[in-house]
Amino acid sequence: MTDPIEALQRLREGNARYVANESALDITDARRRELADGQSPFAVLLGCSDSRVPTEVVFDQGLGNLFVIRVAGNIVQPSQIGSVEFAAQQFGTRLVVVLGHTGCGAINATIDELRRPDKEQSANIAAIVSRIRPSVEGLLDQIDDPEELAHHAVRENVRFQAEALRHGSTILEYLVDRGDLLIVGAEYSLQTGIVDFFDGVPG
């Protein structure tokens, strides 16, 4: 069981290797065989489905290190909460990262929908937008510049989803209150490759 602060540091170090093109990924046959009978991931990553943000690559983590959940807009729904509960209870994973990214299509789609509602929008896409909407709609009257709006919307959505995890489950809330689980929010830059941990990170 990895301490959450130590786990956070491992992610930071892995991201630094990725940015420096100094990967140390362990994806060998020996490692695969070693994991065949069980796993003990040191962190849960709830990230976006965007093909430009492959979580294990971004943090330079090999087989068995991360318990990854990916969904457009890195939104929190019951299935994601259940997945986090599973990792925390079954594997003793003590760090959860909600990872957003610059240039997020789900965020942009939500902004567009709020400004120009589409009556023919798929009900399934609408379900994603509805999860992002509360974190974005308050910004529309405050920020005029489209790039600045998108930047703040990505971060507000990360904060909103991280908070939804912290309080969306009695199991997770109990673990967080006891100090047995740390839930933080971060943003990945498509331009630089750098991950900025900005929400819920201990001082």
pLDDT digits (tens, 9 = 90+) for 74-93: 999 999 999 999 999 999 99
Residue 199 has pLDDT above 80, yes or no: yes
Query: Residue 150's domain spans which residues?
Result: 4-199
pLDDT (0 to 100) of residue 1: 76
pLDDT tens-digit map of 160-174: 999 999 999 999 999
Any idea what the CATH number is for the domain that residue 52 is in? 3.40.1050.10
Residue 48, token pair as written in the block: 């976006």
Give me the number of domains the chain comprises: 1
The pLDDT of 28-46, averaged and rounded, is: 92
